[in-house]
């Protein structure tokens, strides 16, 4: 199998699986229990929290484990709006966010909030800080803008947005979904100036079912996500997913020990793929992605889903954006306002530390065969 869908999820290194198995098999104590096994688990959860917080660049007390990136996004949006409900009932986000953000904003809209969706630059997918700041009003409670777009690989100017916000409307809180950026593009909460940062383990070699939300000091008394037994500083109750947290920390440690080498390798693979695939007939590169691990392209006229299916049947895993709903381009591709034939043919390749140039060569051969043997759309 050739796996070129690392933005969807990543393989789990043996060391991560081993760490998780050890916790599942022998260290099953509840961190809230008051006997030695429980106290030991509590100590271990806090040491795993320190590992993840250290990689993110925040204090352990500012990092809350969640069940996934989706949960972190939803929590940040609700908590940000809650804190600033007296500032106003306006949210600024972008048209190219992950559905986790867009659907949470839609919920807020159903509660009477107004949401402004900043459109990307057609063609490139870029979003300027100016475009986001222009949408900010005196009643804007929250801005939510992702760090790295999961379909295009565009890196958005969060630090510049934060600086602009503190000049224009200092009360407005800033959330960034950094699920695709964590340990791939360098940042810390301080360098970004964001109040909320979402991350997720399964995009960096960790298990599914665990993520984290950074909540910064400007968020006073954050609104709890789940009331209950008081875990996660009383903000997100529920017995800690100890094995997942252990796996998350181990994956972070592994990626961190190659913090320069892995992104450099992915960027080399992306550049190789760009070069190689753009030589194929009818191929057009989509968006100006700067993230090392994502490349989006269109083989204009050849429907995305047919390519995904055909390559999939040969053991090559690629995707049609994050979600090609029943043959329709994703909302991200739609926001680029590309001609129908281009938009209907977009595929995404995404890379990990394990990806080789031979993988790209095999993918290029398969795409060429597809082009030469399958019918394009009308
Ligand atoms: N945000 C972005 C940018 C993503 O790419 C994803 C996953 O694809 C998510 C959020 C959701 O993360 P999770 O799958 O952990 O819920």
Q: pLDDT by residue (tens digit) across 206-238?
A: 999 999 999 999 999 899 999 999 999 999 999
Asked if residue 69 belongs to a domain, the reply is yes
Counted domains in the chain: 2
Q: Where do we find the tokens 């990626």? A: 255
Q: According to the model, what pLDDT value does residue 288 have?
A: 81
Indicate the pLDDT class of residue 270, thresholds 50, 70 and 90. Answer: very high
Any domain includes 187: yes
Most ligand 1 atoms within 8 A of CB, residue of 102, 150, 196 to mutate: 150
Q: Please choose, from the candidates 198, 138, 145, 146, the residue with its C-alpha nearest in 3D space to the C-alpha of residue 172.
A: 138
Q: Between 146 and 289, where is the model more confident?
A: 146
Which pLDDT value is given to residue 328? 72
Q: Please check whether residue 215 lies inside any domain of the structure.
A: yes
Check residue 64 and give its pLDDT.
Answer: 98
Over residues 8-28, the mean pLDDT reads 97
How far is ligand 1, taken at its centre, from the CA of residue 338, in Å?
A: 24
Residue 247 shares a structural domain with residue 343: no
- Given a cut of 70, whether residue 162 has pLDDT beyond it is yes
pLDDT at 375: 83
Question: What percentage of the chain carries pLDDT values higher than 70?
Answer: 98
Same structural domain, 41 and 23:
yes
* 378 is a domain residue: no
Band (13; pLDDT cuts 50, 70, 90): very high
Q: Whose CA is nearest to atom 13 of ligand 1?
A: 69
Q: Under a CB-based contact definition with an 8 Å cutoff, are residues 214 and 197 in contact?
A: yes
Query: Where in the sequence is the domain holding 320, given as residue range(s)?
Result: 2-10+259-373
Identify whether residues 228 and 320 lie together within a single domain: no
How far apart CA 257 and CA 262 sit, in angstroms, is 9
Six-digit token string for 344? 């209907």
Please say whether the beta carbons of 293 and 186 come within 8 A.
no
Average pLDDT over residues 285-307: 94
Choose, from 68, 81, 145, 324, the residue flagged as catalytic.
Answer: 324
Question: Is the pLDDT at 199 greater than 80, yes or no?
Answer: yes
Q: Are residues 313 and 351 in the same domain?
A: yes
Which residues line the pocket of ligand 1, CB cutoff 6 A?
68-70, 73, 98, 100, 146, 150, 177, 179-180, 200, 202, 211, 322
What pLDDT sits at residue 378? 54
Q: 161 with 275, same domain? A: no
- Supply the CATH number for residue 110's domain: 3.40.640.10
State the Cα–Cα distance between residues 364 and 322, nearest whole angstrom: 21
Within-domain flag for 184: yes
How far is 244 from 255, CA to CA, in rounded Å? 16
Q: Which of 98, 127, 182, 213 to mutate to test the pocket of ligand 1 (most atoms within 8 A of CB)?
A: 98
State percent of the chain over pLDDT 90.
Answer: 95
Instruction: State the DSSP string of 303-365.
Output: -HHHHHHHHHHTTEE-BSSS--BTTBPPHHHHHTT--HHHHTTEEEEE--TT--HHHHHHHHH
Are 179 and 321 contained in the same domain?
A: no
Structural domain ending residue among the three candidates 218, 235, 256: 256
The residue from 188, 222, 256 where one domain ends is 256
Q: Do 243 and 273 reside in the same domain of the chain?
A: no
Is the model's pTM score more than 0.85?
yes
Residues 155 and 286 in one domain: no
The answer to the question of residue 140 being in a domain is: yes
Confidence (pLDDT) at 325: 56
Do 164 and 235 belong together in one domain?
yes
The answer to whether position 50 is within a domain reads: yes
Residue located nearest, by CA, to atom 10 of ligand 1: 69
Q: Verify that 53 and 198 share a domain, yes or no.
A: yes
CB-based contact 282:301 (threshold 8 Å): yes
The pLDDT of residue 202 is above 80: yes
Range 263-287 average pLDDT: 97
- pLDDT at residue 125 greater than cutoff 70: yes
Report the separation in Å between the CA atom of 225 and the middle of ligand 1, taken as the mean of its atom positions: 18
Give me the CATH number covering residue 265: 3.90.1150.10
Residues 80 and 179 occupy one common structural domain: yes
pLDDT of residue 327: 61
What is the arithmetic mean of pLDDT over 273-284? 97
Whether residue 269 is predicted with pLDDT greater than 90 in this model: the reply is yes
Q: What is the pLDDT of residues 49-82, one digit of tens each?
A: 999 999 999 999 999 999 999 999 999 999 999 9
State whether 302 and 195 are in the same domain.
no
Q: What is the mean pLDDT of residues 33-58?
A: 98
Last residue of a domain, one of 238, 256, 274: 256
Q: Is 324 a catalytic residue?
A: yes
């Amino acid at each position: 199998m050739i796996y070129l869908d690392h933005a969807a999820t990543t393989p789990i290194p043996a060391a991560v699986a081993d760490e998780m198995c050890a916790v599942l098999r022998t260290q099953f104590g509840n961190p809230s229990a008051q006997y030695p096994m429980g106290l030991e688990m509590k100590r271990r959860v806090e040491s795993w929290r320190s590992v993840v917080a250290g990689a993110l660049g925040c204090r352990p007390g500012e990092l809350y484990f969640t069940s996934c990136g989706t949960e972190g996004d939803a929590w940040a949006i609700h908590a940000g709006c809650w804190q600033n409900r007296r500032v106003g009932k306006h949210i600024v986000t972008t048209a190219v966010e992950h559905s986790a953000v867009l659907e949470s904003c839609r919920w807020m809209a159903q509660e009477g909030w107004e949401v402004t969706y900043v459109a990307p630059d057609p063609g490139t997918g870029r979003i300027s800080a100016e475009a986001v700041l222009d949408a900010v009003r005196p009643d804007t409670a929250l801005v939510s803008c992702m760090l790295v777009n999961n379909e295009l690989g565009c890196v958005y100017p969060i630090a510049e947005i934060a600086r602009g916000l503190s000049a224009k409307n200092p009360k407005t809180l800033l959330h960034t979904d950094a699920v695709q950026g964590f340990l791939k593009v360098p940042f810390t909460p301080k360098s970004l100036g964001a109040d909320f940062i979402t991350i997720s383990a399964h995009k960096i070699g960790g298990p599914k079912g665990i993520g984290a939300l950074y909540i910064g000091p400007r968020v006073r008394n954050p609104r709890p996500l789940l009331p209950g037994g008081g875990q996660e500083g009383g903000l997100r109750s529920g017995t800690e997913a100890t094995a997942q947290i252990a796996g998350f920390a181990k994956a972070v440690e592994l990626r961190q020990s190659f913090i320069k080498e892995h992104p450099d390798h992915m960027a080399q693979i992306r550049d190789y793929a760009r070069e190689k695939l753009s030589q194929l007939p009818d191929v057009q590169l989509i968006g100006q992605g700067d993230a090392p691990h994502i490349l989006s392209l269109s083989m204009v006229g050849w429907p995305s889903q047919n390519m995904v299916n055909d390559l999939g049947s040969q053991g090559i895993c690629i995707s049609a954006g994050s979600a090609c709903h029943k043959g329709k381009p994703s909302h991200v591709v739609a926001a680029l306002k590309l001609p129908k034939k281009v938009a209907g043919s977009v595929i995404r390749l995404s890379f990990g530390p394990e990806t080789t140039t031979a993988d790209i060569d095999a993918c290029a051969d398969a795409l060429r065969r597809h082009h030469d043997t399958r019918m394009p759309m009308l």
